[in-house]
Chains A and B, each alone.
Chain A
Amino acid sequence: MAESQAVHAVHAHQFEDLDQQHDVGTLGMWAFLATEIMFFGGLFAGYTVYRYLYLPSFEAGSRLLDIRLGAINTAVLLGSSLTMALAVRAAQTNKRKALATFLVLTMILGGVFLGIKFVEYAHKWEHHLVPGLHWAPDAEEVAQIQGLKPGAAAPQVELFLCFYFFMTGMHALHMIIGFGIMTVMLVLSLRGRFSSEYYSPIEVTGLYWHFVDIIWIFLFPLLYLVGGRY
């Protein structure tokens, strides 16, 4: 937020002081997150409607997903939220080395998450279960789908998987954007730009990352758990 006219290197001209600037940063991010809720909201609405209309198929579709990988991924992402929270804390308490370490840890955990996600996607591809692009389940697979829940039908399972891919894909896209932001933060923190005086960008990055985590907290039950495993 450096504007050349400003006296202090990090103090932008339109603000009275740093405190105001910090407030503005967090409020801006929260407002943006409200927007993000509605962005995913459109997907949740579509999901809700079709789940209501085609419950058996959605349950069958859900059973095609790997609940173990889903649970592990949830844990991984929660871990990255923890390290992110600790990164913000490190900034608050002026521990510059810890800040960089925690940022790196967060990125690593995020990477693990995406890696696992990739494995899942690849698995779906192998089984011809990618709607639109690679959807050609053979007779056996169709029978398997239909066996999962009475009343399930392949076209609606495809619809479920379509939501699965679009929702998790959007989520992954947000994580990738988060990666980009965090790389910038890492560079800036290595250059010593942050301190307990000025850590607003780190905090705002944290908010974003936690939000992405929360989306997953809901995607996990909605996509992996609805079908049950009993």
Chain B
Amino acid sequence: MSGHVVSVKNYVLIFLALLALTALTTGVAFIDLGPYNTMVALAIAGCKMMLVVLFFMHILYSRNLTKIVAAAGLLWLMILLTLTMSDFATRNWTPEPSGWNAGGKSSGAPAPAGAATAPSTPATESH
């Protein structure tokens, strides 16, 4: 029965790379990059995953079928996340129940929430 044998040296190198990435991602957490913090953290996690999957789990040396199975799992996870978020992320796009015009200004315009960037009232423009 055959199977690809990876050398000990390579395994150790991979391990060191993984440790380095762990240190890196922890370090980045101490720097304020705004929303990019999360992206960097996830990108690094993705790299670490690839290292483990490709070498420790021998995907690099596996049949295409195995690769497809592994990829399918990830793809389906993406489907779950994307379509779920498609609801939550677009809910406020619709004009809210604002038809009733009592009080309130001329507003109620069906402006997406995202478009209302600059605060326009003195009321909310704090100090």
Contacts and interface: CB of A to CB of B under 8 A. Distances in A.
Co-assembled chains A and B = yes
B113 interface: no
B36 to A, nearest CB: 11
A44 B49 CA distance: 16
A129 interface: no
A49 interface: yes
Contacts of B65: 27
Contact of A89 (B5, B81, B84): B5
A45 B80 contact: yes
Nearest to A47: B81
A30 B32 contact: no
7 contacts: A37-B74, A37-B76, A67-B29, A79-B15, A210-B56, A213-B56, A221-B44
B41 A203 contact: no
B88 A52 contact: yes
Q: How large is the interface on A (under 10, 10 to 19, 20 to 34, 35 or more residues)?
A: 35 or more
A200 B2 CA distance: 11
A53 interface: yes
A113 interface: no
Contact of B84 (A36, A49, A71): A49
A27 B59 CA distance: 11
A218 B38 CA distance: 11
Contacts of A78: 15, 18-19, 22
Contacts of B115: none
Interface in A115-160: none
Contacts of B77: 37-38, 41, 44
B15 to A, nearest CB: 4
B37 A228 contact: yes
Contacts of B44: 221
B111 interface: no
